[in-house]
A and B are shown apart, each in its own frame.
Chain A
Amino acid sequence: LTGCSTGDAPAGGDGETKTDITVGFSVYDMQYEFFQEMEAGTKAAVEANGWDYVLHDEKSDENEMVTGAQALLDQGVDVLIISPFKPDALGPIIAKAQELGVPVIVDDIGGGGTPYDAIVVSDNKDGGVQAADFIDAQVKELGLASKKVVSITCEPSAVYAAQRNIGFVEQIESLGYEVVTELSGNSKAEEAYTIMKDALAKDPDIAGVFACNDPMAVAAANAITDAGKNPTKDIVTVGYNGDGEALTAIDADGLSATVAQDPKGMGTLTVELAKKLLDKEDIEFGNADEREVYQPVTLITKANVADFLK
Chain B
Amino acid sequence: MTNTDTAMLAASIQPPAQKKGFNFGAFWDSWGIASVLVVLVIVAVILEPDFLSIGNVQSILRESAYLGIVACAMTFAIMNGTFDLSVGGQLALVSVVTLFAYGVGGTPLALAAAIGTGIACGLVNGALVTALRVPPFVATLGMLFVFRGIAYVLTQNGPAVLPYSEVKSPFAQIGSLNVAGIPLTFIIMVIVFGVGYVVLRRTGTGRKVIAFGSSPLAAKFSGISAAKIRLFVFVILGLSVGIATLTYITRVWTADGSAQDGFELRVITAAVLGGASLQGGKGSLVGTFSAVLLVSVLNDLLVSMGVGASYQRIILGCVLIVALAIDGLRTKFPGSSALRKALSFRNKRMATAG
Task: Decide yes or no whether B1 CB sits under 8 A from chain A.
Answer: no
Task: Decide yes or no whether A159 CB sits under 8 A from chain B.
Answer: yes
Q: Which residue of A lies closest to B153 (CB)?
A: A156
User: Are A63's CB and B248's CB within 8 A?
Assistant: yes
User: Are A67's CB and B309's CB within 8 A?
Assistant: no
A74 contact from B56, B161, B256, Cβ within 8 A:
B56
Q: In chain B between 131 and 178, which residues have their CB closer than 8 angstroms to a CB of chain A? A: 152, 155-156, 158-159, 161-165, 167, 172, 175-176
B251 contact from A55, A92, A157, A159, Cβ within 8 A:
A92
Complex CA–CA separation, A68 to B175 (angstroms):
15
User: Are B309's CB and A59's CB within 8 A?
Assistant: yes
CB distance from A92 to the nearest CB of B (A): 6
User: Are B152's CB and A89's CB within 8 A?
Assistant: no
Across-interface contacts of B172 in A (CB, < 8 A): 92
CB distance from B24 to the nearest CB of A (A): 36
Task: Decide yes or no whether B253 CB sits under 8 A from chain A.
Answer: yes
Task: Decide yes or no whether B21 CB sits under 8 A from chain A.
Answer: no
Task: Decide yes or no whether A228 CB sits under 8 A from chain B.
Answer: no
Query: Of A111-119, A171-179, A203-211, which binds chain B?
Result: A111-119
Prevailing SS type, chain A contact patch: mixed
CB distance from B51 to the nearest CB of A (A): 12
A91 contact from B55, B56, B164, B258, Cβ within 8 A:
B164
Complex CA–CA separation, A112 to B158 (angstroms):
10
User: Are A30's CB and B164's CB within 8 A?
Assistant: no
Q: Which of B161, B165, B175, B306 has the most CB of A within 10 A?
A: B161
Number of A-B contacts (CB under 8 A): 92
Across-interface contacts of B306 in A (CB, < 8 A): 55
Complex CA–CA separation, A61 to B251 (angstroms):
13
Task: Decide yes or no whether B327 CB sits under 8 A from chain A.
Answer: no
Complex CA–CA separation, A208 to B128 (angstroms):
44
A88 contact from B175, B253, B300, Cβ within 8 A:
B253
Task: Decide yes or no whether A95 CB sits under 8 A from chain B.
Answer: yes
Complex CA–CA separation, A75 to B305 (angstroms):
13
- Known contacts A113-B164, A159-B158: does B258 contact A92 (CB below 8 Å)? no
Q: Which residue of B lies closest to A156 (CB)?
A: B152
Across-interface contacts of B165 in A (CB, < 8 A): 113
Across-interface contacts of A59 in B (CB, < 8 A): 309
- Known contacts A91-B161, A114-B164: does B63 contact A67 (CB below 8 Å)? yes
User: Are B164's CB and A74's CB within 8 A?
Assistant: no
Across-interface contacts of B159 in A (CB, < 8 A): 86, 88, 157, 159
User: Are B161's CB and A156's CB within 8 A?
Assistant: no
User: Are A66's CB and B251's CB within 8 A?
Assistant: yes
Q: Contact mask A73-90 → B, CB, 8 Å, 1/0?
A: 011000000000010110
Task: Decide yes or no whether A181 CB sits under 8 A from chain B.
Answer: no
Across-interface contacts of B175 in A (CB, < 8 A): 92
CB distance from A289 to the nearest CB of B (A): 15
Complex CA–CA separation, A95 to B162 (angstroms):
12
CB distance from A35 to the nearest CB of B (A): 11
Complex CA–CA separation, A113 to B289 (angstroms):
37
Q: Contact mask B261-299 → A, CB, 8 Å, 1/0?
A: 000000000000000000000000000000000000000
User: Are B304's CB and A71's CB within 8 A?
Assistant: yes
Complex CA–CA separation, A71 to B50 (angstroms):
12
Across-interface contacts of A159 in B (CB, < 8 A): 158-159
Q: Which residue of A lies closest to B158 (CB)?
A: A159
Task: Decide yes or no whether A270 CB sits under 8 A from chain B.
Answer: no
Task: Decide yes or no whether B303 CB sits under 8 A from chain A.
Answer: yes
Complex CA–CA separation, A149 to B216 (angstroms):
56
User: Are A63's CB and B56's CB within 8 A?
Assistant: no
B156 contact from A57, A61, A74, A156, Cβ within 8 A:
A156
Task: Decide yes or no whether A155 CB sits under 8 A from chain B.
Answer: yes
Q: Contact mask A193-233 → B, CB, 8 Å, 1/0?
A: 00000000000000000000000000000000000000000
User: Are B257's CB and A157's CB within 8 A?
Assistant: yes
Complex CA–CA separation, A70 to B50 (angstroms):
15
Q: Which residue of A lies closest to B259 (CB)?
A: A62
B303 contact from A30, A31, A63, A71, Cβ within 8 A:
A71
User: Are A71's CB and B164's CB within 8 A?
Assistant: no
Can you list the 7 inter-chain pairs with the closest CB atoms, starting with the nearest?
A88-B254, A157-B258, A74-B55, A91-B253, A88-B161, A67-B63, A157-B256
Chain A interface residues (CB < 8 Å from chain B): 1, 29-31, 55-57, 59, 61-63, 66-68, 70-71, 74-75, 86, 88-89, 91-92, 94-95, 112-115, 155-157, 159
**22 A-B contacts, Cβ less than 8 Å apart?**
A31-B309, A57-B303, A57-B309, A66-B63, A66-B252, A71-B55, A74-B55, A86-B159, A88-B253, A88-B254, A91-B161, A91-B163, A92-B176, A95-B167, A112-B161, A113-B164, A156-B152, A156-B257, A156-B258, A157-B152, A157-B155, A159-B159
Given A66-B63, A113-B165, 17 more A-B residue pairs with CB atoms under 8 Å apart are A29-B309, A61-B260, A66-B251, A71-B300, A74-B53, A74-B59, A89-B254, A91-B161, A91-B163, A92-B172, A92-B175, A92-B253, A94-B164, A114-B164, A156-B156, A157-B155, A159-B158
Chain B interface residues (CB < 8 Å from chain A): 50, 53, 55-56, 59, 62-63, 66, 152, 155-156, 158-159, 161-165, 167, 172, 175-176, 248, 251-254, 256-260, 300, 303-304, 306, 308-310
